Amino acid sequence: MRRSLTVLLRGAALKMHFDSNSAMKQPCFLLFAALTLLISRSVLFAFPGDHHLPYVVVVETTRDSGAGSLRAAIESANRNAATRIIFQIPTADGGFDTTKKIWRIMPLSPLPPLQKPDTRIEGSGTVMISGDKARKHWSGLRVEAARCRIIGVKWINWPHEIVSIRSSETRIERNEFQSAPYGIVVHGHKSRRNGFEQNLFDGVNSPISLQDGSNDGLAAPSLSIVRDDAIAPVSHKFMVKFKGKAKTNVTLELAYSSDEAWDAPQIRSIRNTHTVKTDAKGSAEWQFDWKGYPVGSWAATATQNGSTSGFSNTVVMPYL
């Protein structure tokens, strides 16, 4: 990179020299040459050899360890800040499920925690990390560094916490959590501004848990769903109420799960997020009518100043 930038800058100087017959006689040429040298040295100084540049580590196998494994990718990320971990596993891999079109990774020992800031794990919705081989009290992944992001990963069958956060400004987005006592657990009052968006929880006893005043002790909203017979055809009124910091935007999000897969496409047509500003007392409310019968289990979360709350009360709409 140093050589390319230097050649580029020197090439510009040479081009000016050949394009101007009197370039060498003009003071501006000497000024340009001096600036070229100064800029090239500045560029080199801006990218010293020990600086952690963002780079990508590719997971190429579902094996638990060794070259190309998720474990090796995390170990590499723990030596270099701002690492992106992506998955490019061939379908010929033994962990590929030809029916579900996903790759299944089963750690045989706890995965290394994320220890460098700005680490990203990007699963694209096709990678499942399974706790089928995990022992009691193992977590799926522990986050110890700030500003990490986990996007589009499926987690299933973990005996304890799936994602354990002991840092700030972590983002968990579009993950699927299945069959576990705890989904996301945030520990410690110093763990702040951790946000969780568009995640699916199915068969998780405690989807989001805030321990010891973490995430600024943000209170969970309350949720109610009431049938409204005054509207035909049958309609239901959703109402989410929140109490937090005054005159500050809050994003309220609905979470949904159902035992019947055929319900999902219809139910997911319901708008699931709404941003509103709290009043002078810190209160905010979101309500809307939805025509139909929203079968399944519903809950809500609130995100304010980057921190996401735990789940509200769960409202179960049974099958008729």
Assign 20 a pLDDT band (cuts: 50, 70, 90): very low
Pick 13 or 168 by higher pLDDT. Answer: 168
- 3-class DSSP state for residue 72? helix
Mean pLDDT across the chain: 84
| Identity at 266, one-letter amino acid code | Q
Once rounded to an integer, what is the mean pLDDT over residues 113-138? 96
**218-320 homologous superfamily:** Immunoglobulins (2.60.40.10)
* C-alpha to C-alpha distance for 288 and 297, rounded to whole angstroms: 18
Angle made by CA atoms 217, 168, 206, in degrees to the nearest 5? 55
Specify the pLDDT at position 15: 38
Model confidence at 189: pLDDT above 50? yes
Measured over the CA atoms of residue 302, residue 117, residue 74 and residue 1, the dihedral's sign is positive
How does pLDDT run across 259-283, given as a tens digit for each residue?
A: 655 455 666 667 789 999 999 999 9
Once rounded to an integer, what is the mean pLDDT over residues 74-85? 97
Is the Cβ–Cβ distance between 208 and 309 less than 8 Å?
yes
- Domain map (residue ranges) of the chain: 2-46, 53-217, 218-320
Once rounded to an integer, what is the mean pLDDT over residues 205-233? 90
